[in-house]
Amino acid sequence: MSKTTYKLELDCFSGRQNPVFEITEEDFAALQRDIQKLEATAGQPLYDGLGFRGFILSDTVATFISIQKNIIKIQLDKDVQYKKNNQHILSRLISVAREYDEEKAYETLIGKIAGEYLI
């Protein structure tokens, strides 16, 4: 059986490939757990144009969590839920991205994301 891969993607580019970090199962599970505790909200289209489109947290198989500044879309197989996002989750995501960007290749980018998303 192939090993599940857990990823945190910064969905921002059009031409270049997005920065993607392979993260541990523990980090993925902890984030997923905390996101699931958030308040549910009505579904709405997520921003998908040019520019920063948020974080994508996934196990690359069945769970895809799209995280934007104020809203989170959780897709688990065919089931879709929406949650109201908060600053705590955003801070955690930015910390995880910085932690896994060991070579600091995306330091400036992550800084810009923090500037946009964090109050």
Beta carbon of residue 116, minimum distance to other proteins (angstroms, whole number):
6
- Candidate segments 26-34, 80-88, 91-99, 107-115, binder of other proteins by CB under 8 A: 107-115
Q: Is 43 in the site for other proteins (CB under 8 A)?
A: no
∠ CA 91-46-110, rounded to 5°: 30
Helix, strand, or coil here: 81? strand
Residue among 30 and 109 whose Cβ is closer to other proteins: 109
Q: Over the range 27-62, which residues count as b (16 or more CB within 10 Å of their CB) and which as e?
A: bbeebbeebeebeeeeeeeeeeeeebbbbbbbbeee
Task: Considering only residues 44 through 83, tell me which ones interact with other proteins, judged by CB under 8 A.
Answer: 48-53
Beta carbon of residue 18, minimum distance to other proteins (angstroms, whole number):
7
- Is there a contact between 83 and 72 (Cβ–Cβ < 8 Å)? yes
> What is the Cα–Cα distance from 57 to 6, expressed in whole angstroms?
8
Task: Considering only residues 15 through 34, tell me which ones interact with other proteins, judged by CB under 8 A.
Answer: 15-18
Beta carbon of residue 33, minimum distance to other proteins (angstroms, whole number):
26
Contact residues toward other proteins (CB under 8 A) are 11-18, 48-53, 109, 112, 115-116
